[in-house]
Structure 1
Amino acid sequence: MKMVDYLYKKIIISSPTKRAEFLKKKGHIKMGNNCQVFDNVSFGSEPYLIELGDNVRITKGVNFITHDGGVWVLRNNGLLKNADIFGRIKIGHNVHIGINAVIMPGVTIGDNVIVGVGAIVTKDVPPNSVVAGIPAKVIKSIDEYFEKNKTIVDFTKHMSPSEKKTYLLEKYSN
């Protein structure tokens, strides 16, 4: 087995935490501590323009776009020969980015933010907020999210997978 295949299977696939640690060590992106990177995340063609704070979770299929591909048309019609447009992406601390979200160039996401599934983030996101939609908009504060969910959460993080399965099957057996 080739060394690359071994690393891919043992490190890249093994867990979101190990995947993040691998990317951080390789220097692909600037990343804080305790981050998670799930499968099929694209850091685009300029990953060095992306910065992640501490405790950032990037779920499956998230795309970071660091350039405006539309300028291709302007290059081809001669209006802006050899031109490109780039933008940094900065993600604060304690941020969850939902499945298949897209983060566009030049966006800064503040601390304590939840980005909803499939959101397309085209503008800066203030701290302590939940954003969703296309384009993403603030739909509530973190405090409102807490108030809405505090009575319906299940405390399962300490459970083994089999304990969690038993608990959930019993809860939803109706």
Structure 2
Amino acid sequence: MVLHDLRKYSFWGLLSLAINLMYTKIIFPCALLVRRPAHIRILGSYSIGRGFTSGPGLILDVLNDNAELLIGSNVKLNHRCHIGVMKSVKIGNDVLFASNVFISDHTHGSYIGDMQSNPLQPPNEREIVCGNVEIGDKVWIGENVAVLLGVSIGESSIIGANSVVTKDIPAFSIAVGSPARVIKTWDKAVEKWVAVS
């Protein structure tokens, strides 16, 4: 952080920044800045790359001994991002998250196929169903997005605000909606985003 950036802060803002920097270096020494409050529960394995930053309200839940969270370098999460892991979540390098992003590799119960969960059973007693989540390098995830179990988002893709990602999104795509669908792809020949018909 350079001097002209620090001028944006009041005395109390600088004090808060200093406390957040100390907290960061204790919890995640390689990270650049983790703003408090943060809820971090790591029961399995994790790796967080250099240059990681998060806004206040971060929730990282690695919920069992076999779960794995891998976050690449220069990943930036804004306010109130929540990542829940029961199996595996992998996030590439140079990924940007807007605020209120939710990523989960699991759900309480099964709702497709032959073995579906009984709605009369309380949700927290239903079988946990897991599927790996993988987010490629240089992905941008917009405000209020949910990325659900078993999903892969390809390199340099953009997920529009308020989208729910329920299936794979190919590299170099823009996807929006609930469920998210690809509306544009990057055409390398003309170097433009082209609408998908």
Matched, 1:53 2:98: no
Pick which of 61-70 and 93-102 moved more. 61-70
Q: How many angstroms apart in 2 are the aligned matches of 1:140 and 1:18?
A: 29
Q: How many angstroms apart in 2 are the aligned matches of 1:69 and 1:102?
A: 16
Query: Taking structure 1 as reference, are residues 83 and 110 closer, same or farther at Cα in structure 2, changes over 3 Å only?
Result: same
Please name the residue that 1:86 is paired with.
Answer: 130
Structure showing greater relative contact order (alpha-carbon pairs closer than 8 Å, 6 or more residues apart): 1
Q: How many angstroms apart in 2 are the aligned matches of 1:120 and 1:37?
A: 18
Q: Is the 2:157–2:174 Cα contact (8 Å) retained in structure 1?
A: yes
Q: How many angstroms apart in 2 are the aligned matches of 1:122 and 1:95?
A: 16
Return the letter of the residue paired with 1:19: S
Matched, 1:12 2:34: yes
TM-score, structure 1 as length reference: 0.64
Q: Is the 1:67–1:85 Cα contact (8 Å) retained in structure 2?
A: yes
Structure with greater helix percent? 1
Stretches of structure 1 that go unaligned for 5 or more consecutive residues are: 149-174
Q: What is the 5 A alignment of 1:153-172?
A: none
Identity in percent: 25
C-alpha deviation, 1:38, in angstroms: 0.9
Please name the residue that 2:172 is paired with.
Answer: 128
Q: In the alignment, which of 31, 38, 53 is matched to residue 78 of structure 2? A: 38
Q: What is the 5 A alignment of 1:67-146?
A: 67-71=106-110, 74=118, 77=121, 83-143=127-187
Matched, 1:29 2:72: no
Q: Is the 2:59–2:82 Cα contact (8 Å) retained in structure 1?
A: no
Structure with greater strand percent? 2
C-alpha deviation, 1:35, in angstroms: 1.0
C-alpha deviation, 1:122, in angstroms: 0.3
Deviations 1:2-47 (A, max 9, x none): x89x627x94228x94339x999xxx83011111111100102x26
TM-score, structure 2 as length reference: 0.57
Number of positions where the alignment pairs a residue of Structure 1 with one of Structure 2: 139
User: C-alpha root-mean-square deviation of aligned residues, in Å?
Assistant: 3.9
Q: How many angstroms apart in 1 are the aligned matches of 2:102 and 2:53?
A: 19
Q: Is the 2:71–2:93 Cα contact (8 Å) retained in structure 1?
A: yes
